[in-house]
Amino acid sequence: MWQRFKMWLINFMDGRNGTDEFGRFLLIPWLILWVLQMFFPLRILFILSIALIIYMIFRSFSRNLEKRQAENAKYLQIRKKVLQFLKRQKNRLRDIKTHRYRKCPQCRAILRLPLKKGEVQVDCPRCREHFTVNIRL
């Protein structure tokens, strides 16, 4: 009995998207909406939570793999940028007593400069632009 159901499920999900990183991420806003709806019984929260769970189920059972993979790739790209930003902010806080971070005016690369009060001559390692930065404590 269990083996037949297992084989049926495998055959049913063949060629379908299933769960991916974006699908698992969508659980978080759904849970938040669900909890908010319990404390604030607003119709809009209920409608949004139902729409989100329907979208999650739709994505899991979708056979349009190219679109679902493109959505997942876009999510992973955005997530990578957010995580890089958070890591950069964490490093800035860690280095606040010893370094300053400035952007190169040419290529917009973020440079980590030693804390030297006054004007500092800087060469960007990425684009080789030579510029002056005024560092204040």
The predicted-structure confidence for 22-59, as pLDDT tens digits, reads as follows 999 999 999 999 999 999 999 999 999 999 999 999 99
Q: Let me know: does 54 contact 33? Beta carbons within 8 Å.
A: no
Residues contacting 79, CB < 8 A, separation 6+: 21, 25
Report the candidate in 129, 128, 95 with the shortest Cα–Cα distance to residue 113. Answer: 95
In the chain, pLDDT over 70 holds for what percent of residues?
Answer: 99
pTM score, two decimals? 0.73
Query: From CA 50, how far away is CA 105, in angstroms rounded?
Result: 47
Contacts of 89-92 spanning 24+ positions with Cβ under 8 A: none
- The first and second tokens of residue 126, run together, are 């990425």
pLDDT tens digits, 50-100:
999 999 999 999 999 999 999 999 999 999 999 999 999 999 999 988 888
The encoded tokens of residue 76 equal 């992973």
Q: What is the pLDDT of residue 137?
A: 67
